[in-house]
Each structure stands twice: as C-alpha cells, then as structure tokens.
Structure 1
Amino acid sequence: MATAKKPTVKKAAKGKSSRAKSQSDDRSAEDRLIDATMKLVVDRGWRNLSLAEIGEAAGLGLAELHAIAPSKSAILNLLIRRIDRQVLAEGRLSEDQGSARDRLFDVLMRRFDAMQPYRVALGEILYDCRRDPLSLATSLPRLACSMAWMLEAAGLDSHGLRGVIRIKGLSAAYLVTLRTWLKDDSDDLAATMATLDRQLLRLDGWARRCRGPQRQGETQAVGT
C-alpha cells in the first residue's frame, strides 16, 4: 500500500507547482490552456491525452478547466476562435480591394499564417481524429462558423441561403488547402498558396455556371 501512495503524492505536488507557476504568468487562463495543449500534443499526441494532464500543464484545477473548456473538443474550439480573432483583427476587405476571389485568397492566407505556430500540433490532432469520427463530427459546426467569419472578413455576406452555399464551398476549398498546408515546409507557403488559388478558381467557375448567362459579366466568387 505504501508504494501505491507515492505516485499520488508526487502528482499532487506537481499540480501545486503548476498552479503556483501560473500565478506569475500574465497570460489569461484560456491562453495558458491553449498553449499548454498545443505543446502537449506535439510531445504526446492527441488521442491519449487526458483533460487532467492538460489542466495540470496549464496550471488549472479540474473545476477551473471545466469552467473554461469541459471537453477536449472545447479546447480545440478555443484555439479556432483565437485564430479567427487574429484574422479578423486585420480588418474587413472591401469591394475596391480586389475581386471576391482575391479577397478570399488574402483572408484565408491570413488564416494559414495565424495557424503556422500550431502546424505540427494540428497535424497530430487531425491524424488522430481520422480514427475518431465523433471528434470530426463535433468540429464541423465550428468550421462552418469560422468560414462564415472568413467570408465576412472578405466583404461577402454569410447569411441566408446564398450564405449557406458560400460557407459550404469555402469550407471545401479550405479543407483541401489544409492538407497541402500541413505538408508545406516552405517559408513562403508557396504550395499552400498554389492549392488555395486553384480551389478558389474552381469555386469561381462553379459559381459562374450556377448564375447562368444573364449574370456572366459579374465577377463574384463562391456562389455570389
């Protein structure tokens, strides 16, 4: 029985140390949680990582962790929202700043730039999630929400039936480009830009065909 108690004592001491360290950390609890999770994923992978381990690394007790993110999927949503905010902080593009396709290209490349510090961790997460359909299913609404905001940042309305079509089209282009980005080690993300450009060009062609000949002169993209 004595040997069984030793790990418990060590873990408790480590938890206290983590919480003490967090008191001198000027980052918010949410930021500490996201950063700690991304670091752990690189070191350990995603699938077998427990919420208790994540909370300990972030200097958060279980109750604090639950209040911020009650599940691992919720932590991912926090990361996605952080990335959304970084993109949106650069402002909304207007119609006089290029075609819809060009504006979408600029906005999505902002997004990939913002995601760059987490590329290795996101690769691990997506690899593990392929074997966990439930995690993939729960992430789809968050993806749609993010793409709606990317449309707004590009100066395109994301509401109504037309907005739904735009979101679906942009989500498809983004996911295809994401696969390239995960393997793109170049400093300028040339391969990522090339894939994104092709995907948006394809969507633009599809949108033109859907509009019919009476609107062929318009140069909007993604179902506009």
Structure 2
Amino acid sequence: MANAKTQQKILLGFLELLKAHSYEEVSFASLAEHVGVKLSDIRAEFSSKKALVEAFGEMIDRGVLDDRDEDMEGQPARDRLFDVLMTRIDHLAPYKEAIGTLHSAVRKDPGLALEFNSITVRSQRWMLVAAGIEVSGLKGRLVTQGLAVAFARVIDTWLKEDDKGMPRTMARLDKELDQGESWLKFLGKAEKMSRSFRKMGQGVRRSRKSEPTDGDGDIPASALHEAS
C-alpha cells in the first residue's frame, strides 16, 4: 500500500506527463516508469486515470478551502464567490500546462467530458461552500452545474492569457457571474411558483378529504354531484 508521500509523487508525476503528452498518451506504464514506482502501488491508490484527475481536483479544493479569506465574510455573495474562484485559479496556476492538456482532451471527447463533469460539479459545490453560499435540492444541482460550465469558460480564457494580472480572465469571470445572477433570480422565481403550486395542490387534497362521502367512505359527494 502506497503512503501519502507516494500518492503525491504519483499524482504530481501524472501532471508532469500531461505537460508534454496528450491525456490519451499518458499510460499507467509510462507513469510508473516516470515516477519510479511499481504498477501495483499505482493500482492500489488510483484505479483509473479519472481517479487521478479526481485526486487533482480534491487537492485544489483543499488548497482553496485552506486559503479562504475570512475577511470577505461581510461582503456580498457575488464578491465572495469571485474571490474564491480567483483563489482557485491561483492554485491551478502551477499546473496550467497540464490543465490545458485536460481541457483539450475534454473538448475533443464528449464521453470524457461527461466523465469529468461530476468531478467539476463536486469541486464547484465546495467553492460555493467556501463562499458561504449553500444551496440544496434541485436548485442546488442546477446552480452547481451552471457554475461548473461557467468556470470552464473562464478557464478557457485563462489558458489563452499571458498577462500575469489576468485582466481578461477576471473580466470573463465577472461576465459569467453577472449571467449567473440573472439565472439565480429566474430560479428563485421558479422555485417560489413551484412552492405555490404545491401548496395549492395540498389545499385541494385536504378539502377533498374533508368533504362528505357517498356513504361508503370512498367517493366525495362533490364528485358524485359533478358526475350526475
């Protein structure tokens, strides 16, 4: 069984290989040779390349959560989320070439994009938590999926930008969050409408239960009247 140090060695070796090779070209055999560990040790910790990508995402998540700026707590939710996502980009920066390779692989392979989607959505759920924004249920799923798609667009801009100040990246993030605010308002209205319809339905069911029946205890009197 590999220890934590070996796990990190394997993961970082995987990211190093992605700098010079496509995702498809990086094999477990080449990874084992590159980092100098046995294939059995890699298998014990990472059952697939997707598991390696998942471990990378979790590593970045932990870094962002540890670096969360608590002074932002009194700021609007949008500003807190902007700060968290820029912190995420800061943590991704040392692996920019590897991320570029993964980004390219996903754009060419819809199946791979679908595989990685759950990893991205999980990370964005934690980014919302880091920003003090917690949503649940259907709205939560829609918000995290929407944020995952929006952040992928930001990453696309970031990968093409050389300016260390990242003006284009920050402008793109601003734009995506602006669009996200509009979507959140729409979701909020839809959620309120849904609750109203559910309450109406519950009220109808309660009123029907309280109506007198035909004597057998099965059919409301109003239903008999409507049928006659």
TM-score (norm 2): 0.76
Query: 1:128 maps to which residue?
Result: 105
Match of 1:190 among 158, 162, 167: 167
Secondary structure at 1:171 match in 2: helix
Distance 1:168 1:95 in 2: 24
CA 132–202 in structure 1, closer or farther in 2 if over 3 Å, else same: closer
Q: Which has the higher contact order (CA 8 A, sep 6+)?
A: 1
Larger-Rg structure: 2
> 2:43 aligned with 1:66, yes or no?
yes
**Structure 1 residues not aligned, in runs of 5+:** 1-25, 216-224
Identity %: 31
Aligned partners of 1:143 and 1:102: how far apart in 2? 21
User: Per the alignment, do residues 161 and 95 of structure 1 end up closer, same or farther by CA in structure 2, a change over 3 Å counting?
Assistant: farther
User: What does 1:61-210 align with in structure 2 at a 5 Å threshold?
Assistant: 61-91=38-68, 93=70, 96-210=73-187
The CA distance in 1 between the partners of 2:4 and 2:48, in whole Å, is 21
- Residue number in structure 2 paired with 1:20: none
Please give the TM-score of this superposition, normalised by the length of structure 1: 0.77
Root mean square deviation, CA, Å: 2.2
Deviations 1:133-178 (A, max 9, x none): 3322111111111011000000011422232122122112211111
Contact 2:23/2:101 (<8 A) preserved? yes
Q: Aligned with 1:28: secondary structure?
A: helix
Which residue of structure 1 lines up, in the alignment, with residue 209 of structure 2? none
Q: Residues 117 and 84 from structure 1, CA distance in 2 versus in 1: closer, same or farther, beyond 3 angstroms?
A: same
1:96 CA displacement: 4.2
Q: Which runs of 5+ in 2 are unaligned?
A: 193-228
Post-superposition offset of 1:125: 2.1
TM superposition shift of 1:209: 4.1
User: Structure 1's 97 and 126: CA in aligned 2 closer, same or farther, altered over 3 A?
Assistant: same
Specify whether residues 202 and 107 from structure 1 end up closer, same or farther in structure 2 by C-alpha distance, changes over 3 A only: same
Aligned length: 188
CA deviations on 1:106-152 (whole Å, 9 max, x unpaired) are 00001011000111111122213333333221111111110110000
